Amino acid sequence: MTKPKVASDWLAGCAGCHMSFLDMDERILELLKLVELRATPITDLKEPDEEGVDVGILEGGISNTYNIEVAEKMRSRCKILVALGDCAVFGGVPAMRNFAGADEALQRAYVEAESNDASGMVPNDPELSTAVHVAPVSDYVKVDIALPGCAPSADAIFEVLASLAQGKIPEVKGELNDWH
Amino acid sequence: MTLLSLTINDKNVEVETGSTILEAAQKAGANIPTLCHHPQLHPYGSCRLCLVEVEGARTLMPACTVPATQNMVVRTDTEKTKKARNFVLSMLFSERNHFCMYCVKTDGDCELQQAAYAENMNFWPITPAYDPFLVDASHEHIMMDTNRCILCRRCVRTCGELVGNFTLGFEERGSLSQLIADHGVPWGESSCISCGNCVQHCPTASIYDRYSAYKGRRTDLEHTKAVCMECSMGCDRVLLTRDNQLVRIDGDESSAFNEGLLCQLGRYRPLEDKRERLLYPMVRKQGVLTETSWEEALQVAADKIDQTQCSGIRAAISPRFSIEAMADFAAYFKGYLQVPEVEVLQTDQSSEMSRKLAAKMGAFEGDLEQLKDLDLAVVIGADLVELQQVAGFFLKRQMPNGLRFFFAGPDVGNLDRFATDKIIYTGRDYLSVIKMLVKSQGEERGWLAAKLGLDPAELERFVQKSNESSKVAYILGSDLMTDYNYSLLEELMGFIEKQPGSVIVLKGRVGGYAASLLNLEPVDLYSSISGLGFFALGDAYLDDATRQVIDRSEFKIFCTSVIDDQRMKGDVLLPIPNWAELEAHYLTGDGKVKRAGKALEAPGNTRPLVDILEDLGRRTGFTLKHDWQEMLKSSTASTELVLS
C-alpha cells in the first residue's frame, strides 16, 4: 500500500499552527513512516501536486483574493481538506479586521501608523491581491475536518494526521477540541 | 406540598409542585446544559440552550422556565434536542464577537465555550455578523465589552434581584439589544455601587474586572475560603491567588449567608491596596529607624514594657485582627500587665451598647439572615451604604416586592430608591423618632411626625399597615447605639420586646464585636496616658483621631504589616503578616465564628501578632494561655454565639 500524500499551505494566519505541527518533535519521524509529506510552506515544494494529494491542510483564514485562489487550488487537489487552527476554522485574529473594515485597517497600517513617513500610501499595484471580508476557509470551499485551536496542540495535530494516515476520519471532540 | 411525578429520560422522578423541568431533571440526574440560568436568579429563558422534548408538546420547551406537571414525559438528549442546542449555539456565536483566541476569559472560565465543547462543536455553521457593540471602560473596577454579550441578562438580574440596585438594564431589541447602565450613561458615572456581583455572574467575558484580567484562568488559580474583613457582616468569600499574588476575590457561592454576594469593600478594596509592606523589624537608634533582628527588636520592646509603670502603658489593637490575636492582646495587657486602658482602635460604641443591654436582657439580637425575608424593616441610625452594604442589598432587593421601609438616620443613600412603601427621616433626632414609634398615639404621634418633617397622615397609614407585618426587623446602627442614647435604647428595647420581630445591631467594622466581648474598650480619645504606646495596627487605614491617639505616646511600638508616614514615627516596628497570610478566626456581628484560610505567604521576615505577644510574655515573665473560645463563652453576648 502506498503512503497517503499530505500537503499543506497557509493563508491569513501567523504560521503558528505550522510551528505547532513541528512541535510534535521526533513524532514527525513516526508520522513520515505513515504519510508522504508533499508541498508545505516550510519545505521546498510549494504547491500541491497537480495529480492530487490525499490530505490537504490549510492554516489561516481567507483575507484576500490570493487566499481564495490558494484555498480553491488546495481543495481541487486534495481528497480530504483539514482546516487547521482557529483562523482557518473561525476566521481568528485576522477576522478582527471585519469590525472596522479592510479600508480602515489598510489606512491605519500604511498611512497613519506612527512608523510611516509622510509619503505613506496604501499599496495599489494591480498585480496585488485585494482584501476581502475575512472569513473561515469553509466560507469558500468545503472543509472536511475542522481542527480549531490557537494553535492546536502538537498532540492534536499528530492525532488527527495519524488517524487520517490509517484511513480513519478523526472526530474532533473532547481534548482534541480546544479553541483556547 | 404536593408531589408531582414525571418521567425524564425514562427515569421516574418526584418533585414538588412549582418545580421546573430543569429542577426535576437535575433530581433525575439528567444533565441539561444552560447559559442564562443561574440557581440564585429567577428563571428567565432567554438563551434556549435548555430546550427539551416534552411528549405531547407542539415544540421543544425551555426546561429552565417550564413548570413540571403530573405525568409529564421529558426527553433531554434526543436528536431533536441536540440539533436545537447546536442551532442555538450557532446563532449565539454568529451574533457578536465570540472569538476565543483573543478573549480575556478562556478555557474553563467561559460558560459559552464550555457549552460548545459539550456539544462537540468544532466550527461555527453561521459566519459571525461583525457588528461592533459598546465597550465601556469608564468604570473604576469593571470593564464592559458587550461584543462578548449573549444577552442572557444574568448581570441585569443580579443587579436587580440580588443587589436591588437596578443599575444595569437593556435598551433596543433583538440582535441590537444593548447592555447599559442607568439610562445609557457611562458605567463609571452611573448609579453603580461597584459591588462586582455582575462580574461574578457573567457567563462570558462581557463583564470582567480590571484586576484579574489576563492573569490566568479562574480554574488555574488557587482558591482559598476566607471571611470578609471589611465590616461586621462577615461575608464568606474566596481568595483567588497565583504565584503568591492576590488576583481576584469572589463571593463564596456555597455560603448560605451571603450566597456569593460581596460589596465593593469586600471585593475590590484589598486589590486596590498597594501600600508598601514592612518586611523586617526596625528599631529607632539615635533618632533613626534602623533594620534589626527580631531578637533585638523584641528585647527593646520587652525592656521598655518592663521599665514602664503599667499605668503609663497604653495598648490598643485594630479591630481588623483575628479573635485569637485580640484574645492574646487582652490576656497579655489586661490580664497580666494590668494595663488600665486596653483598647480597640477605630471602632464605634455599637458593640459596647449591645453588651450593656445584653447584661440586662440577655441575648436579644437576631440573626443577620433574617434580613433576607421581611415585611417591615425599621432602620435607625444605621449605615447600610458605607459599611454593611450586603445587609443593604438584602433589604433593597425586597423593596420592589413591597417591603415596608422605615428609615431614620443621617444618610439613607440610595437604599430607598426602589422602596414602594417607605417613611424616610433624614436627621438625628432619635429621641423624637423613638418616642414616635414607641409611646405616642394619635395626635401626639402626628405632632412628632410633623416635627420630624414627615407627613402625619402618611405616617399613620404606614403604622396601620405595619401592624399587619409579621416578619419585622429593627436594624440599629452605630449612630444610635451610643452611650448618649442609652436610656433611649432601653426604652426602645422594652417596646420591641412586646412586638413581633427581632433586633439586629450592625456593629461597624469587623472585630468590633469580638473586641467588646473580650473586654477591649473603644479607644478613649482624651486619655492622658502618654508613656509607652503599644499599637497593633496591622493593615488598618488610620484616621485622624487614631493618629492623634498614637501621637500622644512618647515611645511607640507598632505591630504592622504596612508602612506609612504615621507608622514611620514609631520607635519599634514589628512586621506581621496581613489578613490573607494567616489562618485565623473572626466573629461576625451576629455571633458566628468563621474561619479564614491562609491564601498567601507573607513576604519578608514577619511574625504573627500572637507569636510576638507570646514572646514578649516570655521575656517579661508571663506565659500566655490561649483559649479565646472560653473567653468568648464567658462573655455577655447580645447574640447567640456559634463557636464552631
pLDDT in tens, B603-620: 999 999 999 999 999 998
pLDDT of B475 over the 80 cut: yes
Cβ contacts of B123 on chain A, cutoff 8 Å? 83, 89-90, 136, 138, 143, 146, 148
Q: Is B238 helix (H, G, I), strand (E, B) or coil?
A: strand
Predicted ipTM of the assembly: 0.94
Number of structural domains, chain A? 1
A96 CB neighbours in chain B (<8 A) are 99, 102
Task: Show residues of chain B in contact with A143, CB under 8 Å.
Answer: 123
CA–CA separation, B168 vs B173, rounded Å?
15
- Is there a domain that residue A45 lies in? yes
Q: What is the pLDDT of residue B284?
A: 96
Average pLDDT of the segment spanning B70-81? 96
Residue/partner pairs of B9-15 with CB below 8 Å, 24 or more apart: B9/B74, B9/B75, B9/B76, B9/B77, B15/B68
Q: What is the pLDDT of residue B107?
A: 65
pLDDT tens, residue by residue, B374-414? 999 999 999 898 899 999 999 999 999 999 999 999 999 99
Provide the shortest C-alpha distance from residue A82 to chain B (in Å). 12
Q: Domain containing A64 — which CATH number?
A: 3.40.50.700
* Paired residues of B551 in beta bridges: none
User: Residue A102: what are its φ and ψ, rounded to 5°?
Assistant: -65, -40
How many pairs of residues across A and B have Cβ atoms under 8 Å apart?
64
**Touching check for A82 and chain B: CB below 8 Å?**
no
Residue in the block written with cell 494529494: A53
> Which three cell numbers, joined as nine digits, stand for B303?
525592656
- Mean pLDDT computed over A101-116: 91
| C-beta atoms of A95 and B122 within 8 A | no
Which three cell numbers mark B574?
Answer: 514589628
Which chain A residues are closer than 8 Å to B122 by Cβ? 89, 146-148, 172-173, 177
Inside any domain, residue A102: no
Residue A170 included in any domain: yes
Residues of the domain holding A83:
5-96+131-176
Nearest CA in chain B to A135: B127
pLDDT in tens, B549-608: 999 999 999 999 999 999 999 999 999 999 999 999 999 999 999 999 999 999 999 999
Q: Looking at B177-281, which runs of residues are DSSP E strands?
A: 178-181, 207-209, 222-227, 236-242, 245-251
Residues of B in contact with A180 (CB under 8 A): 100-101, 106-107
* Residue in chain B nearest A151 by alpha carbon: B101
The pLDDT-based confidence of A102 (bands split at 50, 70, 90) is very high
Nearest to A150 among B101, B113, B127 (CB): B101
In angstroms, the CA B624 to CA B609 distance is: 13
Give the whole-angstrom CA distance, residue A87 versus residue B99: 10
Put simply, whether B214 touches A (Cβ < 8 Å) is: no
The reported pLDDT for the residue numbered A180 is: 83
In chain A, which residues have their Cβ closer than 8 Å to the Cβ of B105? none
Has residue A101 been placed in a domain?
no
Test A148 with B113 for CB contact under 8 angstroms: no
Residues of B in contact with A90 (CB under 8 A): 99, 123-124
The verdict on residue A37 lying in a domain is yes
**What are B96-116's pLDDT values in tens digits?**
999 998 999 876 789 999 999
The dihedral of CA B623, B627, B632, B634: what is its sign?
Answer: negative
Contact across the interface for A86 and B100, Cβ inside 8 Å: yes
Domain assignment present for residue A110? The answer is no
Residue B107 C-alpha, separation from nearest chain A C-alpha, in angstroms: 6
Q: Identify from A86, A90, A147, A175 which residue to disrupt to test chain B contact, counting B C-beta atoms within 10 A and taking the largest count.
A: A90
| Residue A141 within any structural domain of the chain | yes
**pLDDT of B109:** 87
Residue A41 belongs to some domain of the structure: yes
Q: Output Rg (C-alpha) for chain B, integer angstroms.
A: 28
The owner of cell 487614631 is B546
List the single residue in A with minimal CA-CA distance to B90. A90
Residue with the larger pLDDT of the pair B299 and B526: B299
pLDDT band (50, 70, 90) for residue A120: confident
Does A1 score more than 80 pLDDT? no
Say whether A148 and B132 touch across the interface (CB within 8 A): no
What average pLDDT score do residues A149-176 get? 95
Taking CB atoms and an 8 Å limit, are A83 and B127 in contact across chains? Answer: no
Confidence of residue B61 (pLDDT cuts 50, 70, 90): very high
Considering CB atoms only, which of B117, B123, B132 is closest to A89?
A: B123
Beta carbons of B120 and A177 less than 8 Å apart: yes
Q: What is the dihedral of CA B505, B511, B513, B514, to 10 degrees?
A: 150
CB contact, 8 Å: A62 with chain B? no
Residue A2 scores a pLDDT above 80: yes
From residue A173, alpha-carbon distances to A156, A176, B543 in Å are 10, 5, 58
Q: What is the pLDDT of residue B129?
A: 92
Mean pLDDT of B456-483: 92
pLDDT digits (tens, 9 = 90+) for B224-280: 999 998 999 999 999 999 999 999 999 999 999 999 999 999 999 999 999 999 999
More confident site: B138 or B219: B138
Contact yes or no for B381/B431 (Cβ under 8 A)? no
What band does B451 get if pLDDT is binned at 50, 70 and 90?
A: very high
Min Cα distance A46 → chain B (Å) is: 28
Which of A90, A96, A178 is opposite residue B124, by nearest beta carbon?
Answer: A90
Alpha carbon B306 to its chain centroid, in Å, reads: 42
In chain B, the domains with their CATH numbers are 3-77 (3.10.20.740), 102-272 (3.30.70.20), 282-347+512-633 (3.40.50.740), 350-505 (3.40.228.10)
Please answer yes or no on whether B99 and A146 come within 8 Å at the CB atom. no
DSSP secondary structure of A149-170: -SSPPHHHHHHHHHHHHTT---
B246 half-sphere exposure, CB direction, 13 A CA radius? 25
- Shortest CA gap B130–chain A (Å): 5
Chain A interface includes B113 (CB < 8 A): yes
Least CB–CB distance from B122: residue in A92, A135, A173: A173
